[in-house]
Structure 1
Amino acid sequence: MNDKSVLVTGCSSGLGLATALELAARGFRVFATMRELTRRGELEAQAAQRGLTIEVLPLDVTRPETIDAAIATIIERSGTLYGVVNNAGVALRGFFEDLTEEEIRHVFETNVFGTMAVTRAALPHMRAAREGRIVIVTSVGGRQGVLALTGYCASKFALEGFGEALMQEVKPFGIAVSLVAPGITPTPIWDRSIAKNALNPDSPYHALFLEYRRMVQKVMRGATVTPEAVGQSIGDILMAERPQLRYLIGWRPKLLFALRRYLPGESFDRAYTWLVLRRVQGRARSTKTPQAELTP
Protein backbone atom coordinates (compact mmCIF):
# COMPACT_ATOMS: atom_id res chain seq x y z
CA MET A 1 0.00 0.00 0.00
CA ASN A 2 1.08 3.58 -0.64
CA ASP A 3 -0.46 7.02 -0.68
CA LYS A 4 1.40 8.52 -3.62
CA SER A 5 -0.70 10.89 -5.71
CA VAL A 6 -1.37 10.03 -9.34
CA LEU A 7 -3.21 12.08 -11.95
CA VAL A 8 -5.07 10.10 -14.62
CA THR A 9 -6.64 11.87 -17.60
CA GLY A 10 -9.66 10.73 -19.61
CA CYS A 11 -11.39 8.74 -16.85
CA SER A 12 -15.05 8.90 -17.84
CA SER A 13 -14.86 5.51 -19.58
CA GLY A 14 -12.58 2.88 -21.08
CA LEU A 15 -8.90 2.71 -20.23
CA GLY A 16 -8.90 5.76 -17.98
CA LEU A 17 -11.77 4.51 -15.85
CA ALA A 18 -10.22 1.05 -15.49
CA THR A 19 -6.80 2.53 -14.68
CA ALA A 20 -8.18 4.86 -12.02
CA LEU A 21 -9.93 1.95 -10.29
CA GLU A 22 -6.84 -0.28 -10.48
CA LEU A 23 -4.53 2.37 -9.04
CA ALA A 24 -6.95 3.18 -6.22
CA ALA A 25 -7.15 -0.54 -5.40
CA ARG A 26 -3.35 -0.57 -5.13
CA GLY A 27 -3.39 2.23 -2.59
CA PHE A 28 -2.50 5.22 -4.75
CA ARG A 29 -4.26 8.49 -4.09
CA VAL A 30 -5.99 8.83 -7.44
CA PHE A 31 -7.05 12.10 -8.99
CA ALA A 32 -9.22 11.03 -11.91
CA THR A 33 -9.92 13.77 -14.41
CA MET A 34 -12.39 14.17 -17.23
CA ARG A 35 -13.56 16.90 -19.53
CA GLU A 36 -17.20 16.79 -18.38
CA LEU A 37 -17.98 16.03 -14.74
CA THR A 38 -21.51 15.07 -15.78
CA ARG A 39 -19.93 11.79 -16.94
CA ARG A 40 -18.44 10.92 -13.56
CA GLY A 41 -21.30 8.62 -12.55
CA GLU A 42 -19.94 5.30 -13.83
CA LEU A 43 -16.51 5.81 -12.23
CA GLU A 44 -17.95 6.84 -8.88
CA ALA A 45 -20.46 3.98 -8.90
CA GLN A 46 -17.78 1.37 -9.55
CA ALA A 47 -15.46 2.94 -6.96
CA ALA A 48 -18.21 2.92 -4.33
CA GLN A 49 -19.07 -0.69 -5.15
CA ARG A 50 -15.46 -1.69 -4.52
CA GLY A 51 -15.00 0.54 -1.47
CA LEU A 52 -12.42 2.75 -3.21
CA THR A 53 -11.79 6.45 -2.80
CA ILE A 54 -11.16 8.40 -6.00
CA GLU A 55 -11.09 12.18 -6.27
CA VAL A 56 -12.63 13.44 -9.50
CA LEU A 57 -11.54 16.74 -11.05
CA PRO A 58 -12.46 18.58 -14.25
CA LEU A 59 -9.67 18.72 -16.84
CA ASP A 60 -9.82 19.31 -20.57
CA VAL A 61 -6.38 18.65 -22.05
CA THR A 62 -7.04 21.25 -24.78
CA ARG A 63 -7.70 24.01 -22.22
CA PRO A 64 -4.54 25.02 -20.28
CA GLU A 65 -6.49 26.81 -17.54
CA THR A 66 -8.21 23.55 -16.55
CA ILE A 67 -4.87 21.73 -16.47
CA ASP A 68 -3.32 24.37 -14.21
CA ALA A 69 -6.37 24.33 -11.93
CA ALA A 70 -6.30 20.53 -11.59
CA ILE A 71 -2.57 20.43 -10.82
CA ALA A 72 -2.97 23.23 -8.27
CA THR A 73 -5.79 21.34 -6.56
CA ILE A 74 -3.72 18.15 -6.39
CA ILE A 75 -0.73 19.96 -4.88
CA GLU A 76 -2.98 21.77 -2.42
CA ARG A 77 -4.61 18.54 -1.27
CA SER A 78 -1.66 16.14 -1.30
CA GLY A 79 1.44 18.32 -1.34
CA THR A 80 3.08 16.50 -4.24
CA LEU A 81 2.45 14.61 -7.46
CA TYR A 82 4.17 11.28 -8.03
CA GLY A 83 2.63 10.06 -11.25
CA VAL A 84 0.81 11.18 -14.38
CA VAL A 85 -1.04 8.81 -16.67
CA ASN A 86 -1.65 10.58 -19.97
CA ASN A 87 -4.60 8.59 -21.25
CA ALA A 88 -7.01 11.20 -22.65
CA GLY A 89 -7.25 10.94 -26.40
CA VAL A 90 -9.46 10.70 -29.45
CA ALA A 91 -9.43 8.42 -32.47
CA LEU A 92 -10.15 9.24 -36.10
CA ARG A 93 -11.07 6.63 -38.70
CA GLY A 94 -10.99 7.44 -42.37
CA PHE A 95 -8.69 7.47 -45.38
CA PHE A 96 -6.44 10.53 -45.52
CA GLU A 97 -8.16 12.28 -48.43
CA ASP A 98 -11.48 11.95 -46.61
CA LEU A 99 -10.16 13.65 -43.46
CA THR A 100 -10.64 17.38 -43.03
CA GLU A 101 -7.88 19.65 -41.78
CA GLU A 102 -10.09 20.47 -38.79
CA GLU A 103 -10.46 16.79 -37.85
CA ILE A 104 -6.72 16.14 -38.06
CA ARG A 105 -5.89 19.23 -36.02
CA HIS A 106 -8.41 18.19 -33.36
CA VAL A 107 -6.69 14.81 -33.04
CA PHE A 108 -3.28 16.46 -32.62
CA GLU A 109 -4.60 19.09 -30.19
CA THR A 110 -5.96 16.35 -27.95
CA ASN A 111 -3.54 13.45 -28.35
CA VAL A 112 -0.25 15.31 -28.76
CA PHE A 113 -0.46 18.89 -27.52
CA GLY A 114 -2.85 17.90 -24.72
CA THR A 115 -0.43 15.25 -23.46
CA MET A 116 2.45 17.72 -23.69
CA ALA A 117 0.50 20.39 -21.78
CA VAL A 118 -0.39 18.06 -18.89
CA THR A 119 3.18 16.77 -18.71
CA ARG A 120 4.63 20.28 -18.77
CA ALA A 121 2.40 21.35 -15.87
CA ALA A 122 3.32 18.31 -13.78
CA LEU A 123 7.09 18.22 -14.30
CA PRO A 124 8.13 21.09 -11.97
CA HIS A 125 6.54 19.27 -9.02
CA MET A 126 8.19 15.98 -9.93
CA ARG A 127 11.58 17.63 -10.35
CA ALA A 128 11.23 19.27 -6.95
CA ALA A 129 10.53 15.85 -5.40
CA ARG A 130 13.37 14.23 -7.43
CA GLU A 131 11.06 11.34 -8.33
CA GLY A 132 8.10 10.59 -10.53
CA ARG A 133 6.49 8.43 -13.16
CA ILE A 134 5.02 9.62 -16.46
CA VAL A 135 2.98 7.09 -18.41
CA ILE A 136 1.85 7.92 -21.93
CA VAL A 137 -0.80 5.69 -23.47
CA THR A 138 0.05 5.44 -27.15
CA SER A 139 -1.05 2.64 -29.47
CA VAL A 140 0.22 -0.09 -31.73
CA GLY A 141 -0.72 2.51 -34.35
CA GLY A 142 2.09 4.65 -32.96
CA ARG A 143 4.66 2.06 -34.03
CA GLN A 144 3.04 0.58 -37.13
CA GLY A 145 1.04 2.59 -39.66
CA VAL A 146 -2.49 1.31 -40.31
CA LEU A 147 -4.67 2.25 -43.26
CA ALA A 148 -7.78 4.33 -42.51
CA LEU A 149 -6.10 5.55 -39.31
CA THR A 150 -3.73 8.01 -40.95
CA GLY A 151 -4.39 11.01 -38.71
CA TYR A 152 -4.61 8.90 -35.57
CA CYS A 153 -1.38 7.02 -36.32
CA ALA A 154 0.43 10.28 -37.05
CA SER A 155 -0.54 11.60 -33.61
CA LYS A 156 0.55 8.41 -31.86
CA PHE A 157 3.87 8.30 -33.73
CA ALA A 158 4.42 11.85 -32.46
CA LEU A 159 3.79 10.70 -28.89
CA GLU A 160 6.32 7.89 -29.27
CA GLY A 161 8.99 10.38 -30.31
CA PHE A 162 8.01 12.82 -27.58
CA GLY A 163 8.16 10.16 -24.87
CA GLU A 164 11.49 8.76 -26.02
CA ALA A 165 13.15 12.19 -26.04
CA LEU A 166 11.51 13.26 -22.78
CA MET A 167 12.78 10.13 -21.03
CA GLN A 168 16.35 11.22 -21.71
CA GLU A 169 15.70 14.75 -20.44
CA VAL A 170 14.05 13.92 -17.11
CA LYS A 171 15.96 10.78 -16.08
CA PRO A 172 18.63 12.86 -14.26
CA PHE A 173 15.84 14.14 -11.97
CA GLY A 174 14.68 10.68 -10.95
CA ILE A 175 11.67 10.72 -13.28
CA ALA A 176 10.84 7.73 -15.48
CA VAL A 177 8.82 7.86 -18.69
CA SER A 178 6.98 4.85 -20.09
CA LEU A 179 5.09 4.44 -23.37
CA VAL A 180 2.23 1.93 -23.19
CA ALA A 181 0.93 0.53 -26.47
CA PRO A 182 -2.16 -1.68 -26.03
CA GLY A 183 -3.46 -3.95 -28.75
CA ILE A 184 -6.99 -3.42 -30.03
CA THR A 185 -9.15 -2.73 -27.01
CA PRO A 186 -12.96 -2.45 -27.21
CA THR A 187 -13.57 0.99 -25.70
CA PRO A 188 -16.04 3.82 -26.49
CA ILE A 189 -13.29 5.83 -28.24
CA TRP A 190 -13.87 3.81 -31.43
CA ASP A 191 -17.65 4.25 -31.44
CA ARG A 192 -17.43 7.97 -32.11
CA SER A 193 -14.34 8.14 -34.28
CA ILE A 194 -15.52 7.89 -37.89
CA ALA A 195 -14.60 10.95 -39.96
CA LYS A 196 -17.43 12.98 -41.48
CA ASN A 197 -16.55 12.10 -45.06
CA ALA A 198 -15.48 8.50 -44.49
CA LEU A 199 -18.92 7.16 -45.37
CA ASN A 200 -19.49 9.45 -48.35
CA PRO A 201 -20.54 7.15 -51.23
CA ASP A 202 -18.81 9.50 -53.68
CA SER A 203 -15.42 8.96 -52.06
CA PRO A 204 -12.97 6.87 -54.12
CA TYR A 205 -12.16 5.09 -50.84
CA HIS A 206 -15.79 4.35 -49.93
CA ALA A 207 -15.81 0.61 -50.66
CA LEU A 208 -12.38 0.17 -49.07
CA PHE A 209 -13.47 1.94 -45.90
CA LEU A 210 -16.63 -0.13 -45.53
CA GLU A 211 -14.63 -3.33 -45.85
CA TYR A 212 -12.00 -1.99 -43.46
CA ARG A 213 -14.77 -1.28 -40.95
CA ARG A 214 -16.10 -4.83 -41.24
CA MET A 215 -12.59 -6.17 -40.67
CA VAL A 216 -12.14 -4.01 -37.56
CA GLN A 217 -15.52 -5.05 -36.16
CA LYS A 218 -14.51 -8.68 -36.56
CA VAL A 219 -11.18 -8.07 -34.83
CA MET A 220 -12.94 -6.16 -32.05
CA ARG A 221 -15.23 -9.11 -31.36
CA GLY A 222 -12.14 -11.26 -30.82
CA ALA A 223 -10.16 -8.64 -28.90
CA THR A 224 -8.28 -10.14 -25.97
CA VAL A 225 -6.95 -6.91 -24.44
CA THR A 226 -9.40 -5.47 -21.92
CA PRO A 227 -9.32 -2.02 -20.28
CA GLU A 228 -8.74 -3.82 -16.98
CA ALA A 229 -5.64 -5.56 -18.35
CA VAL A 230 -4.25 -2.21 -19.47
CA GLY A 231 -4.98 -0.72 -16.05
CA GLN A 232 -3.13 -3.58 -14.36
CA SER A 233 -0.11 -3.05 -16.60
CA ILE A 234 -0.05 0.66 -15.80
CA GLY A 235 -0.26 -0.18 -12.10
CA ASP A 236 2.75 -2.47 -12.47
CA ILE A 237 4.67 0.29 -14.27
CA LEU A 238 3.98 2.86 -11.56
CA MET A 239 5.15 0.42 -8.90
CA ALA A 240 8.22 -0.84 -10.77
CA GLU A 241 11.60 0.17 -9.39
CA ARG A 242 13.03 0.60 -12.90
CA PRO A 243 10.22 0.82 -15.44
CA GLN A 244 10.97 0.26 -19.11
CA LEU A 245 10.51 2.90 -21.77
CA ARG A 246 8.20 0.81 -23.96
CA TYR A 247 5.49 -1.73 -23.18
CA LEU A 248 3.32 -3.73 -25.58
CA ILE A 249 0.07 -5.13 -24.18
CA GLY A 250 -1.55 -8.13 -25.84
CA TRP A 251 -0.32 -11.14 -27.78
CA ARG A 252 -1.21 -9.74 -31.21
CA PRO A 253 1.07 -6.67 -31.02
CA LYS A 254 3.83 -8.75 -29.44
CA LEU A 255 3.63 -11.23 -32.32
CA LEU A 256 3.50 -8.41 -34.88
CA PHE A 257 6.64 -6.74 -33.58
CA ALA A 258 8.45 -10.03 -33.11
CA LEU A 259 7.93 -10.64 -36.83
CA ARG A 260 9.05 -7.12 -37.59
CA ARG A 261 12.21 -7.64 -35.56
CA TYR A 262 13.25 -10.80 -37.38
CA LEU A 263 12.18 -9.94 -40.93
CA PRO A 264 14.25 -7.46 -42.98
CA GLY A 265 12.55 -4.06 -43.06
CA GLU A 266 11.29 -4.11 -46.65
CA SER A 267 10.19 -7.73 -46.39
CA PHE A 268 8.02 -7.02 -43.37
CA ASP A 269 6.51 -3.88 -44.88
CA ARG A 270 5.62 -5.66 -48.11
CA ALA A 271 4.14 -8.66 -46.29
CA TYR A 272 2.12 -6.51 -43.89
CA THR A 273 0.78 -4.28 -46.67
CA TRP A 274 -0.07 -7.28 -48.85
CA LEU A 275 -1.94 -8.98 -46.02
CA VAL A 276 -3.99 -5.91 -45.10
CA LEU A 277 -4.85 -4.96 -48.67
CA ARG A 278 -5.68 -8.56 -49.52
CA ARG A 279 -8.31 -8.58 -46.79
CA VAL A 280 -9.69 -5.13 -47.54
CA GLN A 281 -9.23 -4.54 -51.25
CA GLY A 282 -10.13 -8.05 -52.36
CA ARG A 283 -13.45 -8.11 -50.54
CA ALA A 284 -14.24 -4.52 -51.47
CA ARG A 285 -14.02 -5.48 -55.16
CA SER A 286 -16.24 -8.52 -54.76
CA THR A 287 -18.81 -7.16 -52.34
CA LYS A 288 -21.60 -4.83 -53.33
CA THR A 289 -22.62 -2.94 -50.21
CA PRO A 290 -26.31 -2.11 -49.71
CA GLN A 291 -27.23 1.49 -48.91
CA ALA A 292 -28.16 0.53 -45.35
CA GLU A 293 -24.48 -0.10 -44.64
CA LEU A 294 -23.72 3.59 -45.01
CA THR A 295 -24.90 4.48 -41.50
CA PRO A 296 -22.26 4.30 -38.76
Structure 2
Amino acid sequence: MQPVATFSIVAFDPEQGDVGVAVQSKFLAVGSVVPWAQAGVGGLATQAWANIRYGPDGLKLLAEGLSAEQVCDQLIADDPGRDQRQLGIVDAQGRVAAYTGSACMPWAGHYLGAGYTVQGNILAGARVAEAIAEAFEMAQGELAERLVIALAAGEAAGGDRRGRQAAALYVARTGGAYGGNHDRYVDLRVDDHPEPIVELERLLRLHRLYLTTSDPAALLPITPELTCEIQTMLSEAGYYAGPADGKFETLTRSALETYGGVENLEMRLTSLDEHKIDPLVLDFMRRKRE
Protein backbone atom coordinates (compact mmCIF):
# COMPACT_ATOMS: atom_id res chain seq x y z
CA MET A 1 0.00 0.00 0.00
CA GLN A 2 1.19 3.50 -0.84
CA PRO A 3 0.77 6.49 1.47
CA VAL A 4 -1.88 8.96 0.32
CA ALA A 5 0.49 11.93 0.18
CA THR A 6 -2.02 14.70 0.12
CA PHE A 7 -3.15 18.16 1.02
CA SER A 8 -6.81 18.66 1.84
CA ILE A 9 -9.30 20.96 3.48
CA VAL A 10 -12.48 20.00 5.34
CA ALA A 11 -14.95 22.80 6.04
CA PHE A 12 -18.44 23.73 7.20
CA ASP A 13 -20.53 26.61 5.86
CA PRO A 14 -22.88 27.85 8.61
CA GLU A 15 -24.97 29.93 6.19
CA GLN A 16 -25.97 27.09 3.85
CA GLY A 17 -25.25 24.19 6.18
CA ASP A 18 -22.93 22.68 3.56
CA VAL A 19 -20.04 20.47 4.64
CA GLY A 20 -17.29 19.63 2.19
CA VAL A 21 -13.85 18.23 1.49
CA ALA A 22 -11.39 19.14 -1.25
CA VAL A 23 -8.17 17.27 -1.88
CA GLN A 24 -5.22 17.02 -4.26
CA SER A 25 -2.54 14.34 -4.30
CA LYS A 26 0.12 12.47 -6.24
CA PHE A 27 -2.12 9.44 -5.87
CA LEU A 28 -4.43 7.83 -8.42
CA ALA A 29 -8.15 8.45 -7.81
CA VAL A 30 -7.57 10.16 -4.48
CA GLY A 31 -11.28 10.98 -4.33
CA SER A 32 -12.04 7.32 -3.70
CA VAL A 33 -10.04 7.37 -0.47
CA VAL A 34 -9.79 10.73 1.27
CA PRO A 35 -13.11 12.69 1.28
CA TRP A 36 -16.17 11.76 3.34
CA ALA A 37 -19.14 13.99 4.17
CA GLN A 38 -22.78 13.84 5.20
CA ALA A 39 -25.19 16.75 5.46
CA GLY A 40 -26.24 17.56 9.00
CA VAL A 41 -23.46 15.31 10.31
CA GLY A 42 -20.01 16.51 9.24
CA GLY A 43 -17.07 15.67 7.03
CA LEU A 44 -13.58 14.27 7.24
CA ALA A 45 -10.42 13.59 5.29
CA THR A 46 -8.39 10.43 5.92
CA GLN A 47 -4.90 10.35 4.41
CA ALA A 48 -1.19 9.49 4.74
CA TRP A 49 -1.24 5.67 5.18
CA ALA A 50 -4.97 6.18 4.99
CA ASN A 51 -7.37 4.12 7.06
CA ILE A 52 -10.47 4.20 4.88
CA ARG A 53 -12.57 2.89 7.78
CA TYR A 54 -12.15 6.34 9.32
CA GLY A 55 -14.64 7.58 6.71
CA PRO A 56 -17.78 5.54 7.44
CA ASP A 57 -16.88 4.99 11.09
CA GLY A 58 -16.23 8.68 11.66
CA LEU A 59 -19.50 9.76 10.05
CA LYS A 60 -21.37 7.21 12.13
CA LEU A 61 -19.88 8.58 15.33
CA LEU A 62 -20.63 12.15 14.30
CA ALA A 63 -24.23 11.16 13.54
CA GLU A 64 -24.47 9.75 17.07
CA GLY A 65 -23.72 13.22 18.42
CA LEU A 66 -20.01 13.07 19.20
CA SER A 67 -18.01 16.21 18.54
CA ALA A 68 -15.23 16.41 15.97
CA GLU A 69 -12.61 16.18 18.73
CA GLN A 70 -14.30 13.18 20.37
CA VAL A 71 -14.52 11.35 17.03
CA CYS A 72 -10.89 12.09 16.23
CA ASP A 73 -9.77 10.81 19.61
CA GLN A 74 -11.81 7.62 19.32
CA LEU A 75 -10.73 6.76 15.79
CA ILE A 76 -7.07 7.23 16.67
CA ALA A 77 -7.32 5.34 19.95
CA ASP A 78 -8.79 2.29 18.24
CA ASP A 79 -6.16 2.17 15.47
CA PRO A 80 -2.80 0.42 16.06
CA GLY A 81 -1.46 2.14 12.91
CA ARG A 82 -2.24 5.61 14.23
CA ASP A 83 1.33 6.88 13.96
CA GLN A 84 1.11 6.71 10.17
CA ARG A 85 -2.36 8.25 9.86
CA GLN A 86 -3.55 11.75 9.18
CA LEU A 87 -7.07 12.93 9.79
CA GLY A 88 -9.12 16.14 9.64
CA ILE A 89 -12.72 16.41 10.86
CA VAL A 90 -15.44 19.06 11.02
CA ASP A 91 -18.82 18.42 12.63
CA ALA A 92 -22.25 19.92 11.86
CA GLN A 93 -21.69 22.66 14.46
CA GLY A 94 -18.47 23.74 12.77
CA ARG A 95 -16.21 22.30 15.49
CA VAL A 96 -12.95 20.95 14.10
CA ALA A 97 -10.23 18.49 15.02
CA ALA A 98 -7.17 17.06 13.28
CA TYR A 99 -4.42 14.55 13.87
CA THR A 100 -1.03 13.97 12.25
CA GLY A 101 0.78 10.81 13.29
CA SER A 102 4.41 10.99 14.34
CA ALA A 103 5.49 8.63 11.54
CA CYS A 104 3.85 10.60 8.67
CA MET A 105 6.35 11.52 5.97
CA PRO A 106 7.59 15.14 6.13
CA TRP A 107 6.52 17.79 5.70
CA ALA A 108 3.39 16.72 7.54
CA GLY A 109 1.04 18.71 9.72
CA HIS A 110 -2.32 20.38 10.05
CA TYR A 111 -3.91 23.78 10.65
CA LEU A 112 -7.17 24.43 12.49
CA GLY A 113 -9.34 27.42 11.61
CA ALA A 114 -12.87 28.64 12.32
CA GLY A 115 -15.06 25.92 10.84
CA TYR A 116 -12.31 24.28 8.81
CA THR A 117 -9.17 22.19 9.06
CA VAL A 118 -6.26 21.85 6.63
CA GLN A 119 -3.93 18.84 6.64
CA GLY A 120 -1.12 17.57 4.46
CA ASN A 121 1.81 15.20 4.23
CA ILE A 122 4.85 14.88 1.95
CA LEU A 123 4.38 18.58 1.22
CA ALA A 124 6.86 21.23 0.13
CA GLY A 125 6.55 22.78 3.61
CA ALA A 126 4.29 24.34 6.21
CA ARG A 127 3.60 27.23 3.86
CA VAL A 128 1.32 24.96 1.78
CA ALA A 129 -1.12 24.50 4.66
CA GLU A 130 -0.93 28.18 5.59
CA ALA A 131 -1.66 29.24 2.00
CA ILE A 132 -4.69 26.95 1.84
CA ALA A 133 -6.06 28.42 5.07
CA GLU A 134 -5.46 32.03 4.01
CA ALA A 135 -7.07 31.53 0.60
CA PHE A 136 -10.10 29.80 2.09
CA GLU A 137 -10.70 32.60 4.57
CA MET A 138 -10.47 35.25 1.86
CA ALA A 139 -12.50 33.45 -0.81
CA GLN A 140 -16.07 34.43 -1.69
CA GLY A 141 -19.00 32.41 -2.98
CA GLU A 142 -20.35 28.98 -2.16
CA LEU A 143 -18.36 26.46 -0.17
CA ALA A 144 -17.49 24.39 -3.26
CA GLU A 145 -15.80 27.31 -5.02
CA ARG A 146 -14.03 28.40 -1.84
CA LEU A 147 -12.62 24.90 -1.35
CA VAL A 148 -11.25 24.76 -4.89
CA ILE A 149 -9.73 28.23 -4.55
CA ALA A 150 -8.02 27.02 -1.37
CA LEU A 151 -6.63 23.95 -3.15
CA ALA A 152 -5.22 26.10 -5.94
CA ALA A 153 -3.45 28.26 -3.37
CA GLY A 154 -1.90 25.17 -1.82
CA GLU A 155 -0.62 24.03 -5.19
CA ALA A 156 0.80 27.48 -5.92
CA ALA A 157 2.65 27.36 -2.60
CA GLY A 158 4.41 24.12 -3.53
CA GLY A 159 1.81 21.42 -2.97
CA ASP A 160 2.75 17.76 -2.77
CA ARG A 161 6.54 17.69 -3.19
CA ARG A 162 6.28 14.52 -5.35
CA GLY A 163 4.05 16.28 -7.91
CA ARG A 164 0.34 16.00 -8.68
CA GLN A 165 -1.99 13.46 -10.21
CA ALA A 166 -5.54 13.59 -8.84
CA ALA A 167 -8.01 15.88 -7.10
CA ALA A 168 -11.55 15.67 -5.77
CA LEU A 169 -14.34 17.81 -4.36
CA TYR A 170 -17.23 16.53 -2.28
CA VAL A 171 -19.88 18.84 -0.80
CA ALA A 172 -22.94 17.56 1.04
CA ARG A 173 -26.13 19.62 1.31
CA THR A 174 -29.50 18.41 2.57
CA GLY A 175 -31.63 17.74 -0.53
CA GLY A 176 -28.88 19.16 -2.71
CA ALA A 177 -28.44 16.21 -5.06
CA TYR A 178 -29.92 15.96 -8.54
CA GLY A 179 -33.59 15.22 -8.00
CA GLY A 180 -33.50 16.63 -4.46
CA ASN A 181 -33.65 13.30 -2.60
CA HIS A 182 -30.04 12.97 -1.41
CA ASP A 183 -27.30 15.17 0.04
CA ARG A 184 -24.69 14.53 -2.71
CA TYR A 185 -24.59 18.17 -3.80
CA VAL A 186 -21.19 18.28 -5.52
CA ASP A 187 -19.19 15.12 -6.17
CA LEU A 188 -16.39 15.69 -8.68
CA ARG A 189 -13.25 13.62 -9.19
CA VAL A 190 -10.19 14.03 -11.36
CA ASP A 191 -8.57 10.62 -11.11
CA ASP A 192 -5.48 11.07 -13.33
CA HIS A 193 -4.55 14.38 -14.93
CA PRO A 194 -1.40 16.50 -15.37
CA GLU A 195 -3.22 19.55 -13.93
CA PRO A 196 -5.83 18.07 -11.59
CA ILE A 197 -6.91 21.30 -9.87
CA VAL A 198 -7.31 23.13 -13.18
CA GLU A 199 -9.46 20.25 -14.39
CA LEU A 200 -11.42 20.25 -11.14
CA GLU A 201 -12.15 23.96 -11.61
CA ARG A 202 -13.43 23.21 -15.13
CA LEU A 203 -15.65 20.40 -13.90
CA LEU A 204 -17.11 22.61 -11.18
CA ARG A 205 -18.06 25.21 -13.79
CA LEU A 206 -19.80 22.48 -15.80
CA HIS A 207 -21.51 21.25 -12.65
CA ARG A 208 -22.93 24.71 -12.07
CA LEU A 209 -24.18 24.91 -15.66
CA TYR A 210 -25.81 21.48 -15.82
CA LEU A 211 -26.79 20.61 -12.27
CA THR A 212 -27.80 23.82 -10.53
CA THR A 213 -30.79 26.06 -11.12
CA SER A 214 -30.90 29.55 -12.59
CA ASP A 215 -30.37 32.76 -10.68
CA PRO A 216 -33.77 34.50 -10.91
CA ALA A 217 -32.09 37.92 -10.90
CA ALA A 218 -30.03 37.02 -13.96
CA LEU A 219 -32.89 35.83 -16.19
CA LEU A 220 -33.43 37.70 -19.45
CA PRO A 221 -36.80 38.57 -21.03
CA ILE A 222 -37.40 36.64 -24.25
CA THR A 223 -37.90 39.62 -26.53
CA PRO A 224 -38.85 39.30 -30.24
CA GLU A 225 -35.24 40.05 -31.18
CA LEU A 226 -33.94 37.36 -28.83
CA THR A 227 -36.59 34.92 -30.07
CA CYS A 228 -35.36 35.42 -33.65
CA GLU A 229 -31.84 34.55 -32.56
CA ILE A 230 -33.06 31.50 -30.63
CA GLN A 231 -35.13 30.32 -33.59
CA THR A 232 -32.14 30.73 -35.93
CA MET A 233 -29.82 28.78 -33.63
CA LEU A 234 -32.39 26.03 -33.14
CA SER A 235 -32.98 25.83 -36.88
CA GLU A 236 -29.26 25.54 -37.61
CA ALA A 237 -29.00 22.81 -34.97
CA GLY A 238 -31.86 20.86 -36.57
CA TYR A 239 -34.47 21.34 -33.85
CA TYR A 240 -36.75 23.97 -35.40
CA ALA A 241 -38.37 24.07 -38.83
CA GLY A 242 -40.48 27.22 -38.51
CA PRO A 243 -39.75 30.82 -39.47
CA ALA A 244 -37.44 33.15 -37.55
CA ASP A 245 -40.34 35.53 -36.93
CA GLY A 246 -39.65 36.55 -33.33
CA LYS A 247 -42.78 34.86 -31.98
CA PHE A 248 -42.10 32.66 -28.96
CA GLU A 249 -44.95 30.23 -29.58
CA THR A 250 -45.48 26.51 -28.96
CA LEU A 251 -43.29 25.29 -31.81
CA THR A 252 -40.32 27.43 -30.73
CA ARG A 253 -40.71 26.55 -27.08
CA SER A 254 -41.00 22.83 -27.84
CA ALA A 255 -37.86 22.97 -29.99
CA LEU A 256 -35.97 24.79 -27.22
CA GLU A 257 -37.08 22.26 -24.61
CA THR A 258 -36.06 19.37 -26.85
CA TYR A 259 -32.68 20.99 -27.42
CA GLY A 260 -32.29 21.52 -23.67
CA GLY A 261 -33.12 17.90 -22.97
CA VAL A 262 -30.49 16.67 -25.41
CA GLU A 263 -27.85 19.05 -24.04
CA ASN A 264 -28.80 18.42 -20.36
CA LEU A 265 -29.87 22.03 -19.83
CA GLU A 266 -33.35 21.26 -18.55
CA MET A 267 -32.60 22.60 -15.05
CA ARG A 268 -31.94 26.01 -16.61
CA LEU A 269 -35.07 26.09 -18.79
CA THR A 270 -37.65 26.26 -16.01
CA SER A 271 -38.49 29.95 -16.56
CA LEU A 272 -40.03 29.66 -20.03
CA ASP A 273 -43.54 30.10 -18.62
CA GLU A 274 -42.42 33.57 -17.57
CA HIS A 275 -41.00 34.22 -21.06
CA LYS A 276 -37.52 34.44 -19.56
CA ILE A 277 -34.31 32.57 -20.32
CA ASP A 278 -31.09 31.91 -18.45
CA PRO A 279 -28.13 33.80 -20.02
CA LEU A 280 -25.97 30.72 -19.47
CA VAL A 281 -28.24 28.82 -21.86
CA LEU A 282 -27.86 31.53 -24.47
CA ASP A 283 -24.09 31.55 -24.00
CA PHE A 284 -24.03 27.76 -24.39
CA MET A 285 -26.07 27.92 -27.61
CA ARG A 286 -23.93 30.72 -29.06
CA ARG A 287 -20.70 28.89 -28.33
CA LYS A 288 -22.05 25.70 -29.89
CA ARG A 289 -22.85 27.71 -33.01
CA GLU A 290 -19.28 28.98 -33.43
TM-score by structure 1 length?
0.31
Q: Which has the larger radius of gyration?
A: 2
- Looking at secondary structure, tell me which structure has more helix per residue: 1
